[in-house]
Amino acid sequence: MISARQGREGQYSLSESEFQFICELVYNSTGIVLDGRKREMLYRRLMRRTRELGLASFSEYCELLKQKDNDELPNFTNAITTNLTSFFRESHHFDYLTNEFIPELMNCNRRAEDAGRRLRIWSSASSTGEEAYSIAMTVMNAMGSSITDWDVRILATDLDSDVVEVGRGGVYKLERVRDLDIDLKRSWMTKGRGDNGGLVKMSQELMDLIVFKQLNLLHKWPISGPFDVIFCRNVLIYFDRETQEKLIPRFYDLLRPGGLLFLGHSESILKDNKNFESLGKTIYRKLEA
């Protein structure tokens, strides 16, 4: 094995021009802005990919990426994304759904009749799926037996096709759910045995609510709304202001009036945005046009 130090000194070094090329490619294909602080991380992840492909140098990997119609781009973007997530991350959003949004939705007779008791939620940077399953558990628990009267669908999308596949599989390491409420685990998960020891599988009922798809937020969204709730959490921070300002109106267009946009803890939409009212704790409600 070549250590990072040896690598930097030998054929696996990442030159300044290669670093700039990679940053530009990442920005143009994902919207993610990288700077010098990410150099080490980038180097480690792309070195792994360079070796997997059996290439002799990092320059060869860059040459491959420069080739017209190369099919490496999806693997490249999968390698550079940061997929940190967890079940019920930023739990106040799930509390808000349970205590405010879903009871209000269910008590609203006009909406129930007019909209045919339809609930649509989009987890738009879903990573390995924990966010989508947390939404599904929240909806199931909050609606109780009434859920059978409702047409509920959760769409979970991410740029990274590897994490989308993990979400679709619905299998996680036991340690990922260790701190969850015991009733949640009993109701919605099955512990693996034998070869599957140390794993937990999401229940079929949850899996049936969610559709997982690969989707790049920068590209066209082949999806039809309107959505009642959109989660776009902990991804805007990777984008520059220009990209963020392009995305927020697109979420607006896909939400129904009164629908909610949830952002991550260090994200916000601009204060002078007249299209949303802030409900606090990075929850935004779409105002009537």
Burial classification of residue 160, based on how many CB atoms lie within 10 Å of its CB (0-12 exposed, 13-18 middle, 19 or more buried)? buried
- Strands 283-286 and 255-263 come out as antiparallel
Q: Cβ closer to ligand SAM: 7 or 264?
A: 264
Is 51 noted as a catalytic residue in this protein? no
Q: How far is the CB of 75 from ligand SAM (least distance, A)?
A: 13
Which C-beta is closer to ligand SAM: that of 7 or that of 282? Answer: 282
Q: Which is nearer to ligand SAM, 139 or 159 (CB)?
A: 159
Q: 47 vs 52, 94, 122, 260, CA distance in Å?
A: 8, 39, 34, 41
Catalytic residue (one of 48, 89, 111, 158): 158
CB of 168 to ligand SAM, least distance (A): 14
* Beta carbon of residue 243, minimum distance to ligand SAM (angstroms, whole number): 8
Of 8, 39, 45, 51, the active-site residue reads 45
CB 57 within 8 A of CB 65: no
Residue 183 among the catalytic residues: no
**Measured between alpha carbons, how far is 158 from 215 in angstroms, rounded to an integer?**
5
Q: How far is the CB of 217 from ligand SAM (least distance, A)?
A: 4
> Is the CB of residue 65 less than 8 Å from the CB of residue 26?
no
- Taking the C-alpha atoms of residue 8 and residue 273, their distance in angstroms, rounded to an integer, is 46
Residues that bind ligand SAM (CB under 6 A): 30-32, 81-85, 89, 125, 127, 131, 158-160, 163, 216-218, 233-235, 238, 264
To 5 degrees, how large is the angle CA 161–CA 21–CA 235?
A: 40
Token output for 41 = 């991380």
For residues 245 and 252, give the distance between their C-alpha atoms in angstroms, rounded to a whole number: 11
For ligand SAM, the closer CB: 83 or 141: 83
- Whichever of 57 and 214 has its CB closer to ligand SAM, that residue is 214
In the complex, the smallest distance separating the C-beta of residue 204 from ligand SAM, rounded to whole angstroms, is 23
Q: Which residues are annotated as catalytic?
A: 45, 158
